[in-house]
Amino acid sequence: MGRKSSIDQRSEDFRKHVFQRLRENRLTLDALRAELEDEFPDEPTPSRSALGRFAQSVDDIVAHEREMAVCAEALVSELGEDFDAKSGALLAQAVTTLTSKYAMRQIRDNTEMEIGDVLDLARAAKAAQEARSLNLKERREVERLARERLLAEQKEKLADMEKKGGRRFDAETLRIVREEIYGIV
């Protein structure tokens, strides 16, 4: 069981700042150390090697995120749908998978999970579930609107047929089509 990184032991603002700068990938480790000394004078500056190890873990996370985005885009384009239409569901699945993997790794390594870790996992799971629910609600709304549009078109066509009179259909036939076939009352 490994010990916590010296960066993970710092304040939340400090960790967020380091993570942000490493994701941006614009500074060398020495330049980042200098910036941290200026921005956070009350916090001990991590060693270059500690920043390097932390940078490697951030690089792994970023690479994994890019890989998931490429995979999601490829899957969605293969399915023949617009990327935005299914990306939410795929992202939710990815978050669920990552959350589960993290939790299982903690259990496998017999690592004690802190309450913050549990809260982060719960938030991630909740966000994934909300994304799934939102996606389902959006699809149902699209289906409902499409059904309403179809019914309006059918009503309009039936009304036109009734106006034209009995050329092809009598009133009883039109009633059967309207009520029993289309379900329009």
Indicate whether 167 belongs to any domain: no
Whether residue 181 is predicted with pLDDT greater than 60 in this model: the reply is: yes
Query: What distance in Å separates the CA atoms of residue 170 and residue 185, rounded to the nearest whole number?
Result: 18
pTM for the full model?
0.42
Task: Find the mean pLDDT for residues 168-178.
Answer: 74
Indicate whether 100 belongs to any domain: no
Is pLDDT larger for residue 60 or for residue 76?
Answer: 60
The alpha carbon of residue 165 and the mean position of all alpha carbons in its chain are separated, in whole angstroms, by 55
pLDDT value for 89:
62
Whether residue 95 is predicted with pLDDT greater than 70 in this model: the reply is: no
Indicate whether 37 belongs to any domain: yes
Indicate whether 40 belongs to any domain: yes
Radius of gyration of the chain measured on its C-alpha atoms = 29
pLDDT tens for 63-86 read 777 777 776 666 556 555 554 555
pLDDT value for 1:
45
Indicate whether 33 belongs to any domain: yes
Query: What distance in Å separates the CA atoms of residue 166 and residue 174, rounded to the nearest whole number?
Result: 10
* Percent over 70 (pLDDT), the chain: 62
SS3 string, the chain, reads: CCCCCCCCCCCHHHHHHHHHHHHHCCCCHHHHHHHHHHHCCCCCCCCHHHHHHHHHHHHHHHHHHHHHHHHHHHHHHHHCCCHHHHHHHHHHHHHHHHHHHHHHHHHHCCCCCCHHHHHHHHHHHHHHHHHHHHHHHHHHHHHHHHHHHHHHHHHHHHHHHHHHCCCCCCHHHHHHHHHHHCCCC
pLDDT value for 178:
74
Indicate whether 41 belongs to any domain: yes
Indicate whether 22 belongs to any domain: yes
- Tally of structural domains, the chain: 1
Indicate whether 11 belongs to any domain: yes
Query: What distance in Å separates the CA atoms of residue 4 and residue 11, rounded to the nearest whole number?
Result: 13
The range of the structural domain enclosing residue 26 comes to: 7-62
Is pLDDT larger for residue 14 or for residue 126?
Answer: 14
pLDDT tens for 110-158 read 776 666 666 676 676 666 666 666 666 777 888 888 888 888 888 888 7
